[in-house]
Structure 1
Amino acid sequence: MSNIISLVEKSQLTMSSREIATLTHKRHDNVCRDIRAILVALLGGEDADYVRNSNLSYLTNQHVRCEQYDSKNPNAWEYHISRRYTEILITGYDIKRRTAVIDRLYQLEAEKKNVQPSLPTTKELALMVIKAEEEKEQLLIENKNLGHQVEEMRDDVDAFERIAKSDGSLNLTSTAKHLQQPPHKFNQLLNEKGWIYKRRGQRNWLGYQDKVKQGLLEHKVYITQDSSGSEKVCEQVLVTPKGLTKLSQMLSLH
């Protein structure tokens, strides 16, 4: 078994399954079995199934961890459980066993209160300073790289800002040219994305009303003559500066 289960924080009060076995005069394997039963009952789904079918679990849980107490014995593993899990565990034991465990908990708590926090050694302080300097240097490098990227993008940003503020609208062919897209494929893309459509029997593209309302498209009405010399009114869809900016963003994502 190569890993360690869940990590109860070292600062948290815990009791080991071996100590509980000693206090309650129970076999250690039986205490471990009882702890696993708690995990199965309190957890659900795959975690519970895994614990139920394994001698020791690998799941992460804030109340329990598993450690090998004898490195020479591959089977020498024990649980360390939080006070909460300890109290849940001994609920099922008789009064003498519960008393022995509770008294030990009080003793551990008293010892814990009297322990003064240890100050870092000179070596530990030096390592902390070195790590802080490395993180600072890495942050400076990342900020420098970000600055280069922003500078490289500045021309494109300025260009699109000028487009967005300009007054003129472009037809579909000119828009495709500005965005460096093949006109035919560009029109197909706009149609697929719900920007433009054609009426049945008509050749001209028209803009969907929602795009017109958003100021992305507009229609130009003009008069032309057919082959017989008769005049007819036609509509042409135009892409506004706002629509051009929006399309440039959409094509970048696309």
Structure 2
Amino acid sequence: MTQEVQLFNFEKAAVRVVTVDGEPWFVAKDLSDALGYAWNGTARISHVPAEWRGVTSVVTPSGVQDMAVLSEQGMYFFLARSDKPVALPMQKWVAGEVLPSIRKTGSYGGTPRELSRLELLQMALEAEQQRVVLLAANQEQAAKIEALQNLFKEGMSPVQFCKGLNGVNVMRLGHYLESKGWFYNESKSGTRWRVASYARDRYMTEHQQQVFPHGQEPFTAYTPILLRKGAIWLHERYLKGELPMKASWDGQFTHDKTERRVA
């Protein structure tokens, strides 16, 4: 079933909102365009929890199309985790203009009506709750950025970067990255990691140098080097508890040795 579309303009960007079961859902491509991201399909919103994203049929000038959409929670999640300067003004615009406009009519295409005092109080409460959520999300994002600035230096290998993360078992890191398609082992008799095509120039690169061992044929040695986007990816997985961890890990996610507590 196709959904009725309501159009809102943020600066020069048009953002479409549809109603699904009485709730507003935002066209993900429009949010992405408004932030200045290149739309790459649903991969752009893959980090948004599954229950806050979906696909629905939308009427467009070229006909009915299935489009990726985000719920109200998903929209805030997507904006709060953006590093674009326009993200915060856009959050305020949605909270201050878009959602009040939608709620004033009660539904899309509905007849405007006066809101009761109870409804106004409820809207104010919801706006304040959302402000607190956004503040917490922005503070969390700022803490992550600060952590990365302290941790990541250009030219680092994944092992060097992860040595700064409390509890990571760097001896198992290579096999973990191999399972994620970042590494492959070019050696048949030992372990000699190379950067796989999936991660090359996206998350990692390689440094190479000629080695001249005494009495043996010279060869080229490759060192996997982490790019900033790769460091962000690893740090996110660390905070989610997905990296291989030491058995002696104290359970604290931190990069500051002075803050670590031994269990």
Query: For this structure pair, what is the TM-score category when the shorter chain's length is used for normalisation?
Result: 0.3 to 0.5
Greater relative contact order (Cα < 8 A, sep 6+): 1
Normalized per residue, the structure richer in helix is 1
Q: TM-score, normalised by structure 1?
A: 0.41
Normalized per residue, the structure richer in strand is 2
